[in-house]
Amino acid sequence: MDVYGDIPANWRDLVLRKFSEAEDPQAGMSDFTLKGENVHLWRGERHVLHGVHFSVADGQCLQLTGPNGAGKTSLLRTVCGLSYPEEGHILWRGEDVRLDLPAFHAQLAYLGHEPPLKMELTARENLHYWVGVRRRLSSRELDGALERVGAQRWADRPVRTLSAGQKRRVALAGLTLMAVPLWLLDEPTTNLDAEGQRLVGRLIDEHLAAGGLAMAAVHHELIISSQGLRRLELRLE
């Protein structure tokens, strides 16, 4: 078996899933949809998420808004499986993502507050090692992605020498290279100028047009022309 393949997070759940698949051949054939049902999350003494419900269909982007500390980041981290909700479920195409986290992870890209880049490596090297773990990358593809985010001119400089906005653009290039249907973005426009913010909007638009889904925590409205934009307002307790 592939050592890097799907290792069950929980063998008991896996056994149960095997049974349900045997009984219902249609399972797993539902839409490309992401759903959250009654998600509760605690952080120490703080009840961060109080029964959050949401759903995102193919070609839709769910924009998460709300004041600082309302749980936008926590919700994104719970959706991608980093945090474990105390109650509730995250469903991907009708199936609890906890049943097979590695398979779910193979379908998503998560961008946190900070661009996940190594300061000592160049932008190109960073993308090579970061995305290369997931899929084979040709150098042509890499160049294409760097060009799309306007990063080709400084792609071979160490990331340490780049500005915050330039680093963000490199991270966006990584996002497009992952070629996955689900994008989870935490403040994707941070540190970007007006042109950069339009770039984020364009990338999301194209992603949605190709049938992808996105969830983004934002402070400023995303500049998206797609019809698929929806909002979820998280409030402080």
Partner 1 sequence: MAWTWFHRLASPPHVYRTAERLTPWFAWSAAILIVAGLIGGLYLSPPDYQQGDGYRILYVHAPSAWLSLLVYTTMAVAGGIGLIWRMKVAHAVAASCAPIGASFTLAALVTGSLWGKPMWGTYWQWDPRLTSELLLFFLYLGYMGLRAAFEDVQRSDRISAVLAVVGVINVPIIHYSVVWWNSLHQGPSVMYLGKPTMPPSMLVPLLIMFVGFTLFFAAVLLMRLRGEVLIRERAASWVREVVHS
Partner 2 sequence: MNNVMAGEAERPLVSAGTSGTPSVFAVTSLMLARDLRLAFRKASQLVQPLAFFALITTLFPLAVTPELTQLRRIAPGVVWAAALLSSLLALEFLFRDDAQDGTLEQYALSGRSLTGLLAAKTAAHWLLTGLPLALMAPLAGVALGVQGAALPGILASVTVGTVTLSLIGAVGAALTLGVRRSGALLSLLTLPLSIPVLIFGARATQLAIQGQPYGAPLTLLAALAVFGITVSPLAAAAAVRINLE
Query: Contact 60/34 with Cβ under 8 angstroms?
Result: no
* Subset of residues 202 to 221 that bind partner 2, contact rule: CB under 8 A: 206-207, 209-212
- Of 67 and 116, nearer to partner 2 (C-beta) is 116
Distance of alpha carbon 59 from alpha carbon 210, whole angstroms: 7
Distance of alpha carbon 28 from alpha carbon 5, whole angstroms: 19
Q: Is 83 in the site for partner 2 (CB under 8 A)?
A: yes
42 binds, among partner 2, partner 1, none (CB under 5 to 8 A by kind): partner 1
Q: Is 44 in the site for partner 1 (CB under 8 A)?
A: yes
178 binds, among partner 2, partner 1, none (CB under 5 to 8 A by kind): partner 2
129 binds, among partner 2, partner 1, none (CB under 5 to 8 A by kind): partner 2
- Any residues with CB less than 8 A from the CB of 71 and at least 6 apart, and which? 41, 48, 49, 52, 234
- Smallest separation, CB 104 to partner 1 (Å): 19
Q: Is 5 in the site for partner 1 (CB under 8 A)?
A: no
Q: Is 57 in the site for partner 2 (CB under 8 A)?
A: no
Query: Contact 126/170 with Cβ under 8 angstroms?
Result: yes
Q: Is 115 in the site for partner 2 (CB under 8 A)?
A: yes
- Of 47 and 157, nearer to partner 1 (C-beta) is 47
Q: Please, which residues bridge with residue 87 across strands?
A: 40
Q: Is 13 in the site for partner 1 (CB under 8 A)?
A: no
- Smallest separation, CB 69 to partner 1 (Å): 17
Residues of 89-122 as b/e, b for ≥16 C-beta within 10 angstroms? ebbbbebbbbbbbeebbebbbbbbeebebeeebb
Q: What are phi and psi of 21, to 5 degrees?
A: -70, -40
Q: What's the per-residue H, E or C state across 151-196?
A: CHHHCCCEHHHCCHHHHHHHHHHHHHHHCCCEEEEECCCCCCCHHH
44 binds, among partner 1, partner 2, none (CB under 5 to 8 A by kind): partner 1
Q: Which residues bind partner 1 (CB under 8 A)?
A: 10, 42-44, 47, 84
Q: Which residues bind partner 2 (CB under 8 A)?
A: 2-5, 7, 32, 58-59, 80-84, 102-108, 110, 112-121, 125, 129-130, 132-136, 141, 144, 176, 178-181, 206-207, 209-212
